[in-house]
Chain A
Amino acid sequence: MAINEELLAILCCPKCKGEIQLNDAQDGLLCYACKLLYPIKDDIPIMLIEEALPIDSPASS
């Protein structure tokens, strides 16, 4: 999977508008402030609050 770097640079968390980061597995975008993971499916980030997965701590990513 290869998420477009330029795309990532312009994205933010749709909930808090804060920074997001690609997770280690590179299959999701993390917002540490909201403790949410936005999954990436077929190279398309799903930037929907309703579809985001809750994360317990940064370590669980």
Chain B
Amino acid sequence: MTLFDPAQYKIVERQVYSMTASNYEKYGSKTFETYATPLLENAELRQGQHVLDVACGPGIPSLMAASLVGPGGTVTGVDLAPGMVELARRKAKERGLKNVIFQEADGEALPFPDESFDVVLCNHGLVHMTDRIKALHEMSRVLKKADGVLALSVWSTPDRALTIGIVAGTIRELWPAAVVPGAPMWFDFGLEGVLEKTLSDVGFQDVLISRFISSLEAENPEEYWEGVVGISGRLQMLLKNIPEDVASQIRLNIIKAAERFRGTDHKIRIPCEEVIAVARK
């Protein structure tokens, strides 16, 4: 059985997500803005606040937050993958945003002093961390004591976060070796009560949990497949490293599963539930 190696996992994470960064714009930009919207609404950002966006990816929540906090506020986005940081910086420049900066940093060892930020955002980033508790302690540490707010989102369970649940289920069925015990999984916080308990155990207070369902729209199942593969570096790597016939069967099964979501207008709409937590330090 393969053993989980956190250090190696991070090295791969940096590489594969740098590789797929540009695909976020091609396939995922609109989708990820949709996913980031409820998180930002729950965070209730105000003008002048200092915000940290942990595992910012291509900077989608960061850039949206930069407009909300205005010129008197700042947003700092950090991500492990240099390709993501580069893309986020380019987008900030294109939009002429001067109050947002991006840099490479690890959510489990943040390079900021205690109590630096009013708000910490983490949009589907926690599920990528190898030590989630350490990462949550770091988020708490850098939050200001008075009114510091954490706003964090994770995926729901595979049967509800279907956009990625379909993919995970198909892989588990056709290539069970892909599941490495101890490795971070997308759905680790999806069950009722798990995220709430985890945040309370770390010391966060007034934890408020809400669930939000959006849907991923595609013209056809093939477009959906291209999108999910396009943005997931881990999935691309897996498909390259398994026998070709298994990889094609995974593709076929996922396309077949997506077909079930074709609406009367012939478009594919796959529901995806996310869990959003807002808590105080």
Contacts and interface: CB of A to CB of B under 8 A. Distances in A.
Contacts of B214: none
Nearest to A39: B104
Nearest to A7: B101
Please classify how large the interface on chain A is, using the bins under 10, 10 to 19, 20 to 34, 35 or more: 20 to 34
A55 B254 CA distance: 50
B111 interface: yes
B76 A14 contact: no
Interface stretch (B57-65, B79-87, B168-176, B268-276): B79-87
Interface string B80-121: 101001100100000000000111111001111110100000
Contact of A45 (B80, B89, B104): B104
B82 A46 contact: yes
Interface in A1-25: 4, 6-7, 10-15, 17, 20
Contact of A48 (B74, B102, B106, B113): B106
Contact of B109 (A4, A14, A46): A14
Please classify how large the interface on chain B is, using the bins under 10, 10 to 19, 20 to 34, 35 or more: 20 to 34
B132 interface: no
Contact of B112 (A12, A42, A50): A12
A27 B103 CA distance: 15
A5 B109 CA distance: 22
A27 to B, nearest CB: 15
- Name B's interface SS: mixed
A17 B104 contact: no
B109 A15 contact: yes
Contacts of B160: none
Nearest to A45: B103
Contacts of A51: 104
Q: Which of B86, B111, B114 has the most C-beta atoms of chain A within 10 angstroms of its own C-beta?
A: B111
Contacts of A6: 74, 101
B211 interface: no
A4 B104 contact: no
A10 B76 contact: yes
B10 interface: yes
Given A10-B76, A44-B89, A47-B103, A17 B82 contact: no
Going nearest first, the 7 A-B pairs with the smallest beta carbon separation are A47-B111, A14-B109, A14-B111, A47-B105, A46-B104, A12-B113, A11-B111
8 contacts: A7-B76, A10-B113, A13-B111, A20-B111, A38-B111, A44-B89, A44-B102, A47-B106
